[in-house]
Each structure stands twice: as structure tokens, then as C-alpha cells.
Amino acid sequence: MPLYLDEIYLNASSSDNTQKGVALIQQVLKNGFPPGVTLKAGPWASNEEAKIVLILDIQDHSLTFDGFAKAVGSGTIARRRLTPLVEWSALEKAMAS
């Protein structure tokens, strides 16, 4: 299962923008993710940055491009950092070879 740490940075230039970003995330949580995307953990909010953090199983992350491109283009989302995650055993195996 391809897991990703998904950090969604809200446009916090104003309270209104921040509220729109949170509402967008709430809408996705309520209505569902694109096909092939499953929420595994979260969402969490950072208390240090204006961001939402999720752990997602994403079969094809290119399917999430359209939604994020529109959110960034609208000014609701500032940016996104999508980090692939692997099991600890994968690291141990790589270190042993």
C-alpha cells in the first residue's frame, strides 16, 4: 500500500482565506477523496504552521493534481508537500544490502 504524508498548507494571508481552506478540507473529508485515495490517519492541524496533515493511501497521486491545482490557483491552498512513506523494514533491508 503506497502511503503518503500529505501536508496541505493553507493560505493564511487572511482569516477568510484560512476559513475557506479549512472548509475545502472538510468538504473533501465529507464527500470523499478521488478514486484510489483512502484516508488512513488524520486529519491533524499543526499548531505551528497553517497546515493540515493527513496520511493517505494513494494508488496514483497524479489523480490528485487537478483538485490541488485548482485550490492553489484559487488562492485557498498555498502549497502541498506529498512525502512517500515506507515501512521501517524497507529501510533495514536497504541498509543490510
Q: Give 28-53 pLDDT, tens digit per residue.
A: 999 999 889 999 999 999 999 999 99
Residue 90: per-residue pLDDT = 87
* pTM of this prediction exceeds 0.85: yes
CA dist., res. 13 & res. 94, Å (int)? 43
Q: Is the pLDDT of residue 1 over 80?
A: no
Residue 67: per-residue pLDDT = 87
What is the CA 42 to chain-centroid distance, rounded? 10
Q: Is the pLDDT of residue 55 over 90?
A: yes
> Which grid coordinates are listed for 21?
481552506
pLDDT tens string 88-97: 998 899 999 8
> Which grid coordinates are listed for 2?
503506497
Q: Is the pLDDT of residue 81 over 90?
A: yes
Contact between 26 and 82 under an 8 Å Cβ cutoff? The reply is no
Region label for 68, one of left (φ > 0), alpha (ψ between -120 and 50) or beta (otherwise):
alpha
**Domains of the chain and CATH, by start:** 3-96 (3.30.70.260)
